[in-house]
């Protein structure tokens, strides 16, 4: 912490590392008032080879796809953004989270901005110490996940594609999750416009049937999570049959095992859905196997998937 009580970190903004407290935008900025900010969120792990970013190129490619879907005129390419991300992690030791944002900082009155300069901010930080513990004294417990299926509010996928990680895409899920929290649930998954299970606000969903087959909703009405893709690859590698297939909420409720995946969530077992236990309410064998493998891979303890990690060398480390 610095003297001012803000995290002692520096955020990369348009090519310069600026102190955390100075990384601000105007309250009337376009991004703030219209939800036009686009972002991606990555994890950083301590590995035997040093701090490493999990699947950096894949995240940056997804970020650029989101930028293109929203139509922001961003003048930076994948190589530049990867280099800047590595530089930012190196400048912020102990970081476990990395967020890349593209936004319109200009104060605007119209929905289409007169000044269309797209700024880029890249922040590497410790989400627990720099963010959560500054607001509450204790880290939140990892609950036995009580899930609610939100069936009534469907997103309008034609307007804002779920593949765009844009701030505005999170408003509906935020409302659904907030309501569910007030009713004692920890998390929600939403259905798509056709009533099939889609995804959580920041997670993808998987089910395992009694034959041991893994299922997850197909790409169309979800954000294609990097963790989801990784888990599908790990399942294939481990010989676990997996299908990308639409499922009704009832199929999710009747599954032998259910888990969520995401950069923050990792592989997160679901204990109950709308009050009914999933299996015996404990993490099932396939969930446990995939979770352990995923943790080994992201922690740099699995040579088969070392290529998923971008190792960051501290400035001046000599190599």
Stretch that binds ligand PMP, among 138-146, 195-203, 212-220, 240-248 (CB under 6 A): 195-203
Minimum CB–partner distance for residue 279 and ligand PMP (Å): 23
Among 202, 272, 287, 298, binds ligand PMP (CB under 6 A): 202
User: 111: which residues sit within 8 A by CB, 6+ positions away?
Assistant: 34
Scan residues 219-248 and list those touching ligand PMP (CB under 6 A). Answer: 223, 225-228
Tell me if 85 contacts ligand PMP by CB under 6 A.
no
State which residue, 150 or 199, has the beta carbon closest to ligand PMP.
199
Among 204, 221, 287, 310, binds ligand PMP (CB under 6 A): 204
Tell me if 41 contacts ligand PMP by CB under 6 A.
yes
What end-to-end distance do the CA atoms of the chain give, in Å?
Answer: 29
Separate counts of helices (H) and strands (E) for the chain: 8, 16
Tell me if 163 contacts ligand PMP by CB under 6 A.
no
State which residue, 106 or 298, has the beta carbon closest to ligand PMP.
298
Phi-psi region of 216 (alpha: psi -120 to 50; beta: other; left: phi over 0): beta
Report strand pairing: 257-262 vs 204-208: antiparallel
Tell me if 66 contacts ligand PMP by CB under 6 A.
no
The span from the CA of 55 to the CA of 308, in Å, is 5
How far apart, in Å, are the Cα atoms of 40 and each of 55, 75, 147?
12, 17, 25
How many residues touch ligand PMP under the rule CB under 6 A: the total is 14
State which residue, 88 or 261, has the beta carbon closest to ligand PMP.
261
Residue nearest ligand PMP, Cβ-based:
225
Minimum CB–partner distance for residue 45 and ligand PMP (Å): 14
Show the site string, 121-160: x = touches ligand PMP by CB under 6 A, - = not. ----------------------------------------
The number of CA neighbours under 13 Å toward the Cβ of 143 is 12
Minimum CB–partner distance for residue 310 and ligand PMP (Å): 15
- Identify whether the C-beta of residue 236 lies closer than 8 Å to the C-beta of residue 229: no
User: 281: which residues sit within 8 A by CB, 6+ positions away?
Assistant: 144, 271, 272
User: 77: which residues sit within 8 A by CB, 6+ positions away?
Assistant: 64
The span from the CA of 104 to the CA of 36, in Å, is 7
Question: Dihedrals φ, ψ of 217, to 5°?
Answer: -60, 145
Minimum CB–partner distance for residue 16 and ligand PMP (Å): 27
CA dihedral 16, 21, 23, 29 (to 10 degrees): -150
State which residue, 7 or 225, has the beta carbon closest to ligand PMP.
225
The span from the CA of 61 to the CA of 306, in Å, is 19
Show the site string, 248-287: x = touches ligand PMP by CB under 6 A, - = not. -------------xxx------------------------
Tell me if 291 contacts ligand PMP by CB under 6 A.
no
Residue ranges binding ligand PMP (CB under 6 A): 41, 165, 199, 202-204, 223, 225-228, 261-263
């Amino acid at each position: 912490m610095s003297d001012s009580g803000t995290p002692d970190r520096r955020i990369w903004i348009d090519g310069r590392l600026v102190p955390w407290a100075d990384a601000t935008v105007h309250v009337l900025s376009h991004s703030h008032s219209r939800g036009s900010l686009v972002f991606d969120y990555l994890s950083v792990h301590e590995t035997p080879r040093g701090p490493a970013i999990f699947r950096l190129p894949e995240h940056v490619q997804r970020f650029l796809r989101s930028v293109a879907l929203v139509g922001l005129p961003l003048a930076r390419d994948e190589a530049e953004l990867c280099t800047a991300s590595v530089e930012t992690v190196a400048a912020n030791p102990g970081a476990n989270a990395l967020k890349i944002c593209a936004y319109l900082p200009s104060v605007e009155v119209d929905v289409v901005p007169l000044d269309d300069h797209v700024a880029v901010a890249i922040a590497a930080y410790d989400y627990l110490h720099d963010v959560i513990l500054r607001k509450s004294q204790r880290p939140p417990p990892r609950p036995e996940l009580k899930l609610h299926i939100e069936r009534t509010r469907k997103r309008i996928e034609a307007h804002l594609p779920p593949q765009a990680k844009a701030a505005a895409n999170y408003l509906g899920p935020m409302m659904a999750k907030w309501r569910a929290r007030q009713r004692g649930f920890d998390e929600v998954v939403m259905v798509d416009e056709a009533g099939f299970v889609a995804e959580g606000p920041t997670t993808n969903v998987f089910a395992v049937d009694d034959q041991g087959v893994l299922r997850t909703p197909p790409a169309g009405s979800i954000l294609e999570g990097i963790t989801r893709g990784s888990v599908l690859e790990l399942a294939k590698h481990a010989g676990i049959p997996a299908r990308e297939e639409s499922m009704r909420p009832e199929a999710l409720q009747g599954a032998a095992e259910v888990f969520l995946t995401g950069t923050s969530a990792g592989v997160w077992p679901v204990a109950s859905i709308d009050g009914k236990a999933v299996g015996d309410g404990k993490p099932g064998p396939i969930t446990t196997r995939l979770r352990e493998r995923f943790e080994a891979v992201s922690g740099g303890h699995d040579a088969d998937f070392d290529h998923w990690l971008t190792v960051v060398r501290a400035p001046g480390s000599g190599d």
